[in-house]
Structure 1
Amino acid sequence: MTLSVMSNLNSSFSKSPLKISTWYILTLWLCLWNTTPLQAQRLSNNGDFRLAHVTGCAPFTVTPELLFPVTTEPVLYYYENTLDPNDCTEDFNQNPAACVNTSASSDTQFTFNTPGTYYIVQAIGTIPTPRVDYIEIRVFEDRAPFVGISSCSNNEALFVFDFSGDFFDYYDIDFGDGTTTQFQKTGNNIFSHTYPQPGTYSISIEGQLNSGDNASCVLIRREDIVTFDQIPEPIIDSLIIENDIEANIYYQPLNDLLVYNLEIDRGNGFEFFQRLPTRTNPSNFLIRDVSLDFRNEPYRFRIEATDNCSSAPTYAEPIASIALNYDLSSFNSGIEVGLIWETSPINFNTLDYYVGNNFQQSFNTPTNSTGFTVTFDNCTDFERIFLEQIFNGKLSRSLRLLPFEGENLDLPPVNPPTADLNGLGIVLNFTPPPFPADSYRILRRNMAGVYEQIGTTNANTFTDGNVPTGIAQACYAIQYVDECGNVSERSPETCITVSGLIRVPTAFSPNGDNVNDTFSVGEGIFISFDMKIYNRWGALVFRSNNPIEGWQGTFEGTPSPIGTYTYKITFRNADNVPISKTGTFLLIR
């Protein structure tokens, strides 16, 4: 259109200098009228269509505006194509579908949700003579400029940009004190700004592109900064020991524009221990290190505050941990536990002693290795024990100890039991421990000399009615179990001579089944022992002087018949008293 108008104007004004001048002005106006809208937007490679923006942040919506006059020809777009048409080995203008990696769409609007570089291809008409054009766009992740801001002494702020983290060409910075600057993305990514006086300032950093084309991007980083003449000293509030290798340290909120290091003194001066993460742990930090032993070793901690400008650091006033442990002292009038503690003598005040959450008393010594005795009536009375120290408003608390938590309490033995014979067996009596016992275990020594448990009782007495036969002496010991399941050591043994306990059966069955196959006396000491057995006619069928040996139910190697038999047993007991016993029994097959 422009060329045809210009041609007509050329013929019309060819004979007049004034007309020629007017022709140039009109021609210039037409050119500007035709091109100015195209420059305000973004033209495709051949000028067939244009976009409002070719750079944006996801989600980035484009609406191609068709500039080439089309009547009925179809218009297709390949939006998510990432292949550069100039790199295609096929004839791009004849077969655009062979040079793209996405499908065609007739939609005249599309939203990009994934950052990347795309080549939007427009195809008008169909193969073999389509009209093809394209435009390159860039889609970025919607994020503010990547910059670290630090406070420094002398009211200075340090800015460190990560140029690789964003897509901007330069940055407009408002320092919040009435001054602004423009920072170009060049080789140097660090610069500083000095504020007129200490205070809190709101900084805004806006990323910019040289083209000015940054549609749908937020682009602005905003942050408050606190400036100061000197780095403020950190303030520690408390140190709470959690277990053998962990402790929580609490402090006043940290300035996340400064650098804070936790330092430890293990007895040889302070050294670096841990960098404190100010954003995730602004007011407390869990100290955890398997090399620590809070139960047995005291430590001192402090916080170093510094900046990224090489200013002189400042330090928090140190705080000392309290090592607390225990040992078992005695069981004289209960369970007596000895406490052992140690803390730093530097700036030491007093230690407050608690049982449960109840204050008991104060100690004026930072170290006690001889033990301070705490008495509990029973294991169920155990409560957590801890020490606290408060100095200049800082609280230090030791581990909260529960005596013998997770371990067996080595209970001392009771005195040996007493043993007496009666008609039912051997009666044992024993003295209880100095605190409640839940039960007693009765132990008897077997023929091999090993103690075996033969019963339990909740009382202080026990009767053994199953003394094995053939023993001259029975030996016993006692163990007790407290209400927490702790088992004591074995008591000294008590032995009793078994005498006069003749136990003869009223019947026996020598049939080889190993049950009641022998007629014999009970256990005990039998001096001058003599046992005779007679059949129903008074004939002697067996005689023995060995109390362990019994009658097998035979006579001269032949099984004796079933029936009633008579025994006569004589002996002297352990007191040399003559004993005689006569009776009858049945032989059963």
Structure 2
Amino acid sequence: MTTCTPFRLTARLCWLGLFWIGSLLAAQAQGTPGFALEPDFGCVPLSVQVTDDASKAPPGGRTPAYDNGQDTDTSTFSAVDPVFYYDAPGVYLVKQLVDGTAPLAERIARRRLVVLDTVVPNAQVAFCEGNRVRLTVDDRDDARFLLPGRDYGTYAVGDTTLVYDQYRIRWGDGQEEVVQKRQFVLTHTYNDGKFDHTVQVQGLYSVSACGGTARLPVRSFQALAWPALNRAAVQADGSVLLQLQVGITGRYRLLRQTANGLTALDTLANEGPQDYASTAIDARNQSACFRFEAFDVCGNTLASPNLCTTRLTATPNAAQNSITLSWPRDQSGFAFRHYTIYRDNRPFATLPDRDQTSFVDTGPLQCGQRYQYHLVVTMTYPRQTAEIESHSLPVEVTAQSTVQPEPVQQVQATVNLENQVVLSWRAPSPTPSAYQIRQMNPAGKLLTLFTAGGPAFTDQQADLASQPYCYEVLFTDTCGNVSRTSTRVCPIRLTGDRNETSVRLTWTEYEGWPGGAQQYFVERIGADGTVLDSAPANGRSFQESLDDLLDAEEQVLRYRIRAAPNDNRYTDSYSNLVTFRLPYRIYFPTAFTPNGDGLNDTFHGFGRFVEQFTLRIFDRWGEVVFQTNDFTDAGWDGTFRGMPLPPGLYPYTVSGTDETGRPLTLSGKVQLIR
């Protein structure tokens, strides 16, 4: 029985073939099969022209049946010289079937068709400085094209492996070149003045001039960013901490200058500021110079000048109370600006001469104290906005001295409201741990020796009411050297006396101000310390009439002297307080008239400086008819228990104290008139 199984036909064509076979069994043979494919190699998408072999066809022609090998429902049909379309790579077996009485196997012809894949070449382009690009192609592994074989029953097609045999490079500026290897690197420079190109890399098979194309846009050329080498600092372990600035383009490498040239230390790629610790050399004992370099794949380089480390040594000089610092001359390639010496992390000397390699710190230094120094070399470069710095490793040294310290300055004396002498002065640098204060009389005889922990002292033992005092301040530094004696200061001593008519004050001159006293003032002080009155004095004496003090608000008069200096570095100085007590004043009338006319209607006292007070009024039999403890009370209105008393003499007594606490007593008689 005739069957359609030897090749794949649709159901329609299969029945058509059976019809032909059945109707032509006795007919004359229709020729032998044969056809050609054009092309039989090519890349997807591929159109293939099928041409029947006319030499093998009958005189009247024929319409063979074909199978294009694509394994679809429409892969078999009858046509004259059809065109097959292939959009998938692979090895296809195309078959032709002709009519006739010969056995089926003799009426089928076969042709192999290879449809190649357009693999995109593995290509990369890098943009470089100077309008250059670098093209890298590496198809050693990725560009292999495997066409799997197929088993067609009696017929089989084996695996076919193809690779690109050559590459055509079109640079996008009208220039192109062909390379016959699968791994290569090319560089190209654009000279057309344009900044928008597309590099095309097409792989080509030797069996067919086709293949995939990689299209690589070139939009801009990247100039190398400046490799900023900002800072070098020697660390405690001898390593060098470098501060670098990496740009967004290119790659960077760090190099160290040696006697034999430059040695690469590392390659850096991360964008932004970076800290890099170099352990290539122990920079505690020798200088190290570094260079930072940007480079690209095209061979362009851009390098910073050398940045070198620096070393610092410190030596104490006891005889001069100083420390000598020394360092090697800076060898960096940047533009030198200045050296800065730091003491205890604070800058205290800036040196603009690059050739200067030593400095003497004369302080003031505190003997026995440990100081830390470090040196900073500051440089500039036109392509860097920030200054470049090289930091030495900090060094520590203990100050030693046999030099006598200078005296303390701006010693001043004043007296507080408790009549205590208060001394103050400007602390020297470095500050000593203690001071010695000499108390003496104006003749220079030492009276007492005090000790103070800071630049101020209060002499609570001074008795200025009995004698004047003078003071000197000195100290001993940590090396045992006693300072020179300070300027002697003598506070103002105020004395005074009071007679029946006036108060007289005299005082000593303030001693210790370089420019002396500009003016003395007499001040009257309230009990709460406020200044009630102040007046400039001529000379060093003052007299005030008691009549001028009738309106004094306080019974106790407190005087002091204020001196104003000529030198504005000093503040006013005050003397001790001198006090005087005014007598209390109290008065009672001898009669009163409680008749309601608003004149002398009550009996009460008048006076000043009365603190505590008791008034008692008696009748003729000694009975208390009125009593009050309020000196400001409205007084007695001449009644007793609400009833008017008869006219007559009424004795009274007054007792109490004045504002100073001294007792007061008074008695008398008042005439009640009706």
Smaller-chain TM-score range?
A: 0.3 to 0.5
| Structure-1-length-normalised TM-score | 0.38
Higher relative contact order by CA 8 Å / sep ≥ 6: 1 or 2?
1
Structure number with higher helix proportion: 1
Q: Structure 2 length normalisation: TM-score?
A: 0.34
Greater C-alpha Rg: 2
| Larger strand percent | 2
